[in-house]
């Protein structure tokens, strides 16, 4: 067959042989290793051979053919046969098998690329030598959990509000996106960040400081640049593997994953993979040179490797001589003339793919004049390149020649079935064609047509793209032939979904089953082949579910719908755009409002899922609650979550956990309103914390919040029980700190000290525990120890006000008035509206006979406490006392009595 012939690319093969030969040990080193070590080493060449070979060019240029040829050469040609290990990784094939590679080029993450490469290596070489990578993965998961706990635990007022609202994942994204940007001037940094997070340079600095306090330096290095650390670990594993036998890694269709972030990560793998590894990478882009890629600047390989380390070659088109040679090999008894070769060259633009198809047709008796005859271009929209137009025209001519005779109807059915399929699936194709011996039928097709790839169960990619566009218009899509094939596909896929999902009630669990998740996407694809209405009726409920459980899967779902955009109405296209806009981690509020309103309208029309209305209703109320939370309407958010709970179906564990997390989040906002330092009691906070624990009792953070609520309401035994349960789930410093606070509130000082000390043992840099220890020592009159504990808290967390204020109180109680004044002023410098520090400063000044200055500080304290948006009982009592001190005795005593009565009633 013409497609099996390998022609030209001689220079590329010679370079590959030279690079490979440089890795092969000499005969004594190979057969007499002990003696080989004593013999002189092979003479070093003046310039080492490249270890990274980059082949690039547009589709159809023969990159796959070349890469496979090099793979075959390394495996079977002397002297390489048996002397090297090889791995051939086709990224296009991996994309079909990996959901995380099906999210669109711009959304593929570096960790996915590393995971796929690691999986391929362990599969090919029995998993030997990659312990560093697997260990790094576990360590990364642990560091992310620690940061999440720090965010969810005792609130940290050093974090800017914008960052606090992002949550732990958003904070990780911020730090990793702007690694090292603290050195950038303020104005350009704010301009950069304003498009997404609106965080200043100071905010970015505070965010880093927060995370650095939560982690060890080694953990922070991994947290800040996880992909680089994982890549280095994987590279070391490859290096170890190559020490046993040189290793050749060949990548085909690398354009699937060559976005800068992914490629830069792979380079770290290459750079740490040792000197016994050869890389050959085939893709569409020129990776060696730096330059602009749209709005992104791409750093080429020449910036990261020496000139001797890389070999970059653009695969050029076939010229007249090569075209004639190719046709001569395909049909040795029927060579083409120079004039005919010129016609093929002009028609094909020298693209090997097109030439191969033309040669096959020539062999089967089609005249060159008919093969290259111009036809009107297919109207696929504006902006089509000349290359794409040639491929389209060629594909159309293939249809004319291959399917003109009535006896070839069965062939046309098979070609259409291959074009209709979303991905290769032998069982599905067998059902669509009602064929028992599928392999034999496809082999017969392969013998007749050069564009059938039997092993891959697909047509050539370019022909597939054309045929899908050709079949989409209503006239062809609704034809009996197309709809019969599609109906068979739908019937079989629906049975597969039922069978694969049997016994699985939870939709989240269904989406975790990769084969089932892929089958659901296949079903969506064929629903759209049925028509716009069928496709959108299927898509909307699946979008609601996927939006809640798996955003990457949902992106794949929307990409399927977008591939049918030519036959979708404006309303459907707008809806898809809105759906896409809310799939980001932190979508725009207006987009969220629009999507939820649209889904509510569709629900009223009965367009959500039949049979799982309770799940859909729960998700929508949960999403409404999350919207209200982001809008800082926390009472409304709580009501939405309570409504969602009423609809929550049984056995939907992930949805139940998601709802519990919603209750937990809103409980934190009631417990620490405005992200304040001290917690306050509220009925809403208590209700939300109780619901979080009720729905997910396995989460220690939820028990922690419940413990805070119980402590603030004076229910100390219940608070202790909640904290102990949190500790039982996982002992953490924050949880022992909470336990220490309760013991301290009860006057159980020795138990409080033990709890705080355990917190410090778990995390010596946890400032809150040192501060709590200081409070207990002060209550016991152990002032020197209290001062030392407060100073330790300040050393660990110098940019927060509370330990400075507490230190000032200790100095005040020991009559060290100057030191007390300094501490209070430092607290006010950090937090100007800290009414307690202002009040205490006034007291220190009063004791120093500075009456006028003391009066000024008390007035500022009264203004600060009056400006608070939320009051607890302590705030109300303190405000009344300030009124009395400042001369409003009647109002002050009245307010004091009211505050005391409310405190006693609660």
Per-domain boundaries in the chain: 2-127+238-314, 134-226, 320-483, 485-610, 660-851
Residue-wise pLDDT for 633-659, tens only, equals 999 999 999 999 999 999 899 999 999
Could you identify the residue written with the tokens 């030209």? 8
- Give the pairing type, strands 277-283 and 52-56: parallel
Which of 579, 571, 537, 538 lies closest to 555, judged by CA?
A: 579
The answer to whether residues 299 and 260 touch, using CB atoms and an 8 Å cutoff, is yes
**Whole-number Å distance between alpha carbons of 788 and 505:** 57
The answer to whether residues 235 and 271 touch, using CB atoms and an 8 Å cutoff, is yes
Cα dihedral 250→252→257→260 (10° resolution): 70
What b/e string do you get for 119-141 counting C-beta neighbours within 10 Å, with b at 16 or more? Answer: ebbbeebeeebbebbbebbebbe
Element (H, E) at 249: strand 247-252
Record the tokens describing residue 536, joined without a space.
């959108």
**Whole-number Å distance between alpha carbons of 200 and 831:** 18
HSE-up (13 A, CA, CB side) for residue 445: 26
DSSP state of 13: H
| Bridge partners of residue 297, in order along the sequence | 292
The answer to whether residues 837 and 808 touch, using CB atoms and an 8 Å cutoff, is yes
**Whole-number Å distance between alpha carbons of 485 and 112:** 35
Could you identify the residue written with the tokens 């009264």? 862
Neighbouring CB atoms inside 10 A of 173's CB total: 16
User: Coil, helix or strand for 146?
Assistant: helix
Q: What superfamily would CATH give domain 660-851?
A: Tetratricopeptide repeat domain (1.25.40.10)
Which of 416, 373, 379 lies closest to 397, judged by CA?
A: 373
Which of 156, 158, 154 lies closest to 799, judged by CA?
A: 158
Maximum CA extent, the chain: 116
**Whole-number Å distance between alpha carbons of 306 and 739:** 59
Residue 213 Ramachandran class (φ > 0 left, ψ -120 to 50 alpha, else beta): alpha
- Give the pairing type, strands 85-90 and 52-56: unpaired
Give per-10-residue mean pLDDT for the chain (906 aa): 56 89 72 55 63 82 86 92 94 90 84 95 84 89 82 63 64 65 43 49 73 81 84 94 94 90 94 95 89 75 92 78 81 86 73 76 79 50 41 52 57 91 95 92 71 78 72 88 97 97 93 96 98 96 96 96 90 95 92 96 85 91 97 97 96 95 96 85 96 97 97 94 97 96 94 96 94 95 95 93 92 93 93 87 89 86 74 64 71 64 56
Q: Residue 384: what pLDDT?
A: 44
- Please calculate the CA angle 336-369-340 and round it to the nearest 5 degrees: 30
The answer for residues whose C-beta is within 8 angstroms of residue 776's C-beta and 6 or more apart is 740, 744, 749, 752, 753, 756
Q: Residue 41: what pLDDT?
A: 54
**Whole-number Å distance between alpha carbons of 343 and 348:** 8
| Bridge partners of residue 458, in order along the sequence | 453
**Whole-number Å distance between alpha carbons of 49 and 22:** 7
HSE-up (13 A, CA, CB side) for residue 51: 19
**Whole-number Å distance between alpha carbons of 160 and 744:** 30
The answer to whether residues 722 and 703 touch, using CB atoms and an 8 Å cutoff, is yes
**Whole-number Å distance between alpha carbons of 59 and 416:** 22
| Bridge partners of residue 247, in order along the sequence | 85, 277
Sign of CA dihedral 431, 433, 434, 438: negative
What b/e string do you get for 801-819 counting C-beta neighbours within 10 Å, with b at 16 or more? Answer: bbbbbbbbbbbbebebbeb
Residue-wise pLDDT for 288-318, tens only, equals 998 876 557 889 999 999 989 999 988 776 7
Record the tokens describing residue 878, joined without a space.
């303190």
Burial environment of residue 675 by CB neighbours within 10 A (0 to 12, 13 to 18, 19 or more): middle
- Name the fold adopted by 2-127+238-314: Rossmann fold (3.40.50)
Record the tokens describing residue 333, joined without a space.
């008894």
The answer for residues whose C-beta is within 8 angstroms of residue 505's C-beta and 6 or more apart is 649, 651, 652
Q: Residue 295: what pLDDT?
A: 58
**Whole-number Å distance between alpha carbons of 802 and 827:** 7
HSE-up (13 A, CA, CB side) for residue 161: 8
Record the tokens describing residue 764, joined without a space.
């010596």
- Please calculate the CA angle 801-804-810 and round it to the nearest 5 degrees: 145
Q: What is the 3 state secondary structure string of 515-556?
A: HHHHHHHHHHHHHHHHCHHHHHHHHHHHHHHHHHHCHHHHHH
Element (H, E) at 624: helix 613-630
DSSP state of 674: G
- Give the pairing type, strands 247-252 and 85-90: parallel
Could you identify the residue written with the tokens 């297919």? 378
The answer to whether residues 96 and 424 touch, using CB atoms and an 8 Å cutoff, is yes
Residue 273 Ramachandran class (φ > 0 left, ψ -120 to 50 alpha, else beta): alpha
Record the tokens describing residue 49, joined without a space.
């051979």
Question: DSSP string spanning 475-513?
Answer: HHHTSHHHHHHHHHHHHHHHHHHHHHTTT---HHHHHHS
**Whole-number Å distance between alpha carbons of 701 and 307:** 54
Q: Residue 383: what pLDDT?
A: 45
Angle between helices 409-420 and 480-500 (to 10 degrees): 50
Angle between helices 589-604 and 613-630 (to 10 degrees): 150
Cα dihedral 862→868→871→876 (10° resolution): 10
Q: Residue 377: what pLDDT?
A: 39
Burial environment of residue 614 by CB neighbours within 10 A (0 to 12, 13 to 18, 19 or more): middle
**Whole-number Å distance between alpha carbons of 831 and 842:** 16
Which of 98, 96, 76, 97 lies closest to 86, judged by CA?
A: 76
Total residues belonging to the chain: 906
Neighbouring CB atoms inside 10 A of 248's CB total: 24
Distances from the Cα of 83 to the Cα of 29, 33, 68, 79, 375, angstroms: 12, 14, 18, 8, 52
Record the tokens describing residue 397, joined without a space.
């001519």
Angle between helices 514-530 and 551-562 (to 10 degrees): 20
Could you identify the residue written with the tokens 């009040």? 839
DSSP state of 748: -
Q: Residue 490: what pLDDT?
A: 98
Calculate the average pLDDT of the chain. Answer: 84
Which of 885, 847, 849, 846 lies closest to 865, judged by CA?
A: 885
CA-derived radius of gyration, the chain: 35
């Amino acid at each position: 067959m013409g497609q099996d012939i390998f022609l030209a690319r001689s220079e590329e093969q010679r370079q590959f042989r030279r690079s490979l030969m440089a890795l092969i040990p000499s005969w004594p080193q190979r057969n007499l290793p002990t003696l080989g070590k004593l013999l002189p080493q092979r003479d070093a060449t003046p310039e080492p051979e490249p270890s990274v070979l980059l082949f690039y060019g547009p589709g159809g240029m023969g990159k796959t053919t070349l890469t496979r040829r090099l793979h075959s050469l390394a495996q079977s040609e002397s002297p390489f046969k048996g002397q090297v290990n090889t791995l051939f990784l086709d990224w296009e094939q991996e994309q079909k098998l990996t959901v995380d590679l099906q999210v669109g080029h711009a959304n593929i993450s570096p960790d996915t690329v590393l995971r796929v490469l690691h999986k391929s290596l362990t599969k090919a070489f029995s998993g030997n030598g990659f312990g560093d990578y697997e260990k790094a993965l576990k360590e990364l998961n642990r560091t992310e959990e620690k940061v999440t706990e720090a965010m969810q635990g005792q609130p940290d007022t050093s974090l800017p509000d914008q960052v606090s609202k992002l949550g732990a994942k958003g904070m990780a994204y911020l730090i990793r996106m702007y690694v090292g940007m603290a050195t950038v001037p303020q104005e350009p940094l704010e301009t950069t960040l304003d498009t997404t997070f609106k965080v200043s340079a100071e905010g970015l600095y505070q965010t880093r400081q927060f995370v650095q306090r939560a982690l060890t330096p080694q953990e922070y290095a991994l947290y800040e640049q996880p992909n680089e650390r994982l890549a280095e670990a994987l590279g070391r594993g490859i290096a170890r593997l190559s020490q046993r036998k040189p290793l050749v890694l060949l990548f085909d269709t690398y354009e699937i994953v060559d976005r800068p972030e992914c490629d830069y990560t792979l380079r770290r793998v290459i750079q740490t993979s040792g000197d016994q590894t050869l890389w050959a990478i085939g893709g569409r882009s020129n990776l060696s040179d730096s330059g602009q890629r749209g709005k992104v600047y791409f750093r080429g390989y020449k910036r990261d490797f020496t000139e001797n380390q890389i070999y970059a070659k653009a695969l050029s088109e076939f010229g007249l001589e090569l075209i004639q040679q190719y046709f001569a090999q395909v049909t040795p008894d029927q060579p083409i003339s120079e004039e005919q070769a010129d016609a093929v060259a002009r028609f094909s633009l020298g693209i090997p793919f097109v030439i191969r198809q033309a040669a096959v047709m020539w062999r089967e008796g089609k005249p060159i004049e008919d093969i290259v005859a111009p036809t009107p271009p297919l109207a696929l929209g504006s902006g089509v390149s000349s290359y794409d137009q040639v491929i389209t025209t060629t594909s159309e001519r293939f249809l004319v020649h291959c399917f003109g005779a009535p006896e070839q109807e069965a062939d046309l059915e098979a070609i259409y079935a291959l074009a209709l399929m979303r991905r290769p699936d032998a069982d599905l194709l067998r059902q669509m064609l009602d064929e028992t011996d599928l392999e034999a039928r496809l082999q017969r097709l392969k013998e007749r047509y050069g564009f059938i790839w039997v092993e891959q169960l697909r047509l050539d990619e370019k022909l597939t793209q054309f045929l899908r566009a050709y079949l989409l218009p209503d006239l062809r899509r609704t034809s009996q032939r197309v709809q019969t094939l599609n109906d068979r596909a739908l019937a079989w896929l629906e049975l597969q979904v039922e069978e694969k999902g049997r016994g699985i009630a939870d939709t989240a669990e269904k989406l975790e089953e990769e084969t089932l998740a892929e089958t659901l996407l296949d079903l969506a694809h064929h629903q759209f082949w049925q028509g716009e209405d069928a496709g959108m009726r299927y898509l909307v409920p699946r979008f609601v579910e996927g939006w809640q459980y798996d955003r990457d899967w949902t992106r794949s779902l929307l990409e399927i719908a977008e591939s049918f955009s030519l036959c979708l109405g404006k309303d459907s296209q707008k809806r898809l755009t809105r759906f896409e806009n809310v799939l980001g981690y932190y979508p725009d509020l207006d987009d969220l409002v629009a999507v939820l309103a649209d889904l509510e309208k569709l629900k009223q029309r009965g367009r959500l899922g039949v049979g799982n209305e309770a799940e859909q209703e729960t998700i929508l109320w949960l999403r409404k609650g999350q919207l209200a939370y982001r809008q800082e309407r926390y009472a409304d958010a709580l009501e939405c979550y309570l409504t969602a709970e009423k609809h929550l179906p049984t056995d939907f564990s992930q949805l139940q956990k998601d709802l519990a997390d919603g209750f937990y989040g809103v409980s934190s906002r009631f417990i620490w309103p405005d992200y304040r330092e001290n917690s306050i009691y509220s009925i809403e906070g208590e209700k939300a914390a109780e619901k979080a624990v009720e729905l997910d009792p396995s989460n220690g953070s939820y028990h922690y919040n419940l413990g805070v609520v119980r402590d603030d309401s004076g229910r100390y035994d219940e608070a202790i029980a909640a904290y102990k349960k949190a500790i039982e789930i996982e002992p953490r410093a924050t949880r022992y700190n909470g336990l220490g606070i309760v013991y301290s509130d009860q006057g159980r000082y020795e138990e409080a000290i033990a709890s705080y000390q355990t917190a410090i043992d778990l995390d010596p840099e946890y400032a809150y525990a040192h501060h709590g220890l200081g409070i207990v020592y002060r209550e016991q009159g152990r002032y020197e120890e209290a001062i030392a504990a407060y100073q330790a808290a300040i050393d660990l967390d110098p940019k927060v006000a509370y330990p400075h204020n507490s230190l000032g109180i200790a100095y005040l109680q020991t009559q060290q008035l100057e030191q007390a004044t300094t501490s209070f002023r430092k607290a006010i410098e950090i937090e100007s509206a800290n009414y307690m520090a202002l009040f205490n400063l006034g007291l220190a000044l009063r004791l120093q006979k500075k009456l006028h200055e003391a009066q000024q500080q008390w007035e500022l304290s009264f203004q600060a406490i009056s400006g608070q948006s939320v009051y607890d009982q302590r705030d109300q009592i303190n405000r009344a006392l300030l009124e009395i001190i400042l001369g409003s005795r009647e109002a002050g005593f009245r307010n004091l009595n009211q505050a005391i009565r409310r405190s006693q009633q609660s």
